[in-house]
Amino acid sequence: MKFNLLTAREITNLVKEKKVSAYEVTKDIFSQIDRIENKIKAFLYIDRENALKQAKNIDEKIKKGEKIPYLAGVALTVKDILAVKGMETTCGSKILKRFISPYNATVINALKEAGAIIIGKANMDEFAMGSSTENSAFFTTHNPWDLERVPGGSSGGSAAAVAADETHVALGTDTGGSVRQPASFCGIVGLKPTYGRVSRYGLVAYASSLDQIGPLTKNVEDSAIMMNVISGQDKKDSTSANLEVPDYLESCKVGIKGLKIGIPNEYFIEGLDKEVKLAIDNALKLYEKMGAEIEEVSLPHTEYSLPTYYLIATAEASSNLARYDGVQYGYRTKNYTDLSSLYRKTRSEGFGSEVKRRIMLGTYALSSGYYDDYYLKAQKVRTLIKQDFDRAFEKYDVLITPTAPTPAFKLNEKVNDPLTMYLSDIYTIPVNLAGIPAISINCGYSKNNLPIGLQIIGKPFDEKTIIQAAYNFEQNSQLKKRKPDINLPEVKEEVE
């Protein structure tokens, strides 16, 4: 049996029934990585030795009759923006190359305690700034469905690893769509929780009021399982909410008859790919057959989401990234004469072009004389965007939209056109500005056999309902589940 092809739920059932050992499962995962990683390039770091040790420890517990952990034997890949003790944490940036984390993020402690086996760190756009994983300082990750296309970003390495069966589950982070958009491009499930539902302690900050950790999984059930483990208040994170966490797995047992679905007019405009629209329309027909009630709704301030996001996110980034100066940790330039030149040259050499672009934009927006015109105004518009959602949720249980305006685009297609690249996240950004939850699931394929994502948006802290809606679609869809064909010619890639 190819254990790498199974879901997390299937693996834990086999391990608990003693039909397979965690060690065997982990060995099988590494066999898949050895077979195809040179084509996908999902990982920045693979920790084979410690992963196999973790697996042996779980097997020893089972032999001794101890309680079997919730995620026993499940292979976990971590986006390289999350702190894992003893592992390099680079954020996909040269400026943090060789930085070894001295502690674990809260979500990592929770998952390790639950028995998840950390197999490595995933590639990403530098400091989570990008929509294609082409902004990594080290190399580009390839989409398993078509090696000439991007896997999405910034959690592209995590999404590609799940889609290529190099891991059972992965963690990503979502600042403006960076879990959901790569999930859409790679044909998997990506969930962005409500801001405050999951602790951000140990997440290297990009934009602190927007960042959120979320799971990338093969199906909705696994997403629910992951949320059961990582959700909850954390005293180390002042923004985490002190709210009871429901059993998300129970949400998968409930039907959706009578569910009220709103379809935002503003998401079905010029620029939406015809094949994407057709797939969403077909999905909505299925929801009607299952007993859901569907109506159109207006979110009038949607058109302002993109500029609002890029003012707020870059302003917060310019502040958060000021700590990387070559003094305490990370990269330091070799050629400097004084403290000023140390800062300037370290940052010039250590940061990539997209990070520099966003720092400059954010610094400008926060500068004297421009703060009120840009940053403050953006915060006011953000409130209007949130109020649009609040009004919609007075009537509807969930909103359904495309996740991305197109299927995965080709490598290098948008690298030299940042504005076009930014539009890749046009349907996901409003959710982050409002701080609400959303999930992306596969709802079809293009004529080029590329996955298409459907986004389900929920009320604050109501992940339960979006999981319920997503699971019912997944179980009732006549869409034949496909796997990417990775037996393709090897892609040669330059590595720094």
Which of 79, 121, 459, 464 is an active site residue?
79
Q: What is the residue-averaged pLDDT of the chain?
A: 95
Q: Where are the domains of the chain?
A: 3-260+465-476, 302-384
Which of 21, 93, 101, 154 is an active site residue?
154
Residue 418's pLDDT band, with cuts at 50, 70 and 90, is confident
Specify the pLDDT at position 458.
98
How does pLDDT run across 237-259, given as a tens digit for each residue? 999 999 999 999 999 999 999 99
Which of 102-106, 122-126, 478-482 has the lowest average pLDDT? 478-482
pLDDT over 60 (residue 6): yes
How does pLDDT run across 421-445, given as a tens digit for each residue? 888 899 999 999 999 999 999 999 9
pLDDT over 50 (residue 309): yes
C-alpha 43/C-alpha 61 separation (Å) is 29
Which of 21, 93, 155, 178 is an active site residue?
178
How does pLDDT run across 440-468, given as a tens digit for each residue? 999 999 999 999 999 999 999 999 999 99
Q: For residue 117, what is the enclosing H or E element? A: strand 117-122
Any catalytic annotation for residue 79?
yes
Strand runs labelled E in 181-238: 189-192, 213-217
Q: 3-260+465-476 has which CATH code?
A: 3.90.1300.10
Any catalytic annotation for residue 178?
yes
In this structure, which long-range contacts are made by residues 359-363, counting pairs with CB atoms below 8 Å and at least 24 apart in sequence? 359/314, 359/317, 359/318, 359/321, 360/318, 361/310, 361/311, 361/314, 361/318, 362/311, 362/313, 362/314, 362/315, 362/316, 362/317, 362/318, 362/319, 363/318
pLDDT over 50 (residue 350): yes
What's the rounded mean pLDDT across residues 408-412? 97
Any catalytic annotation for residue 31?
no
Specify the pLDDT at position 487.
62
How does pLDDT run across 278-304, given as a tens digit for each residue? 999 999 999 999 999 999 999 999 999
What's the rounded mean pLDDT across residues 364-391? 95
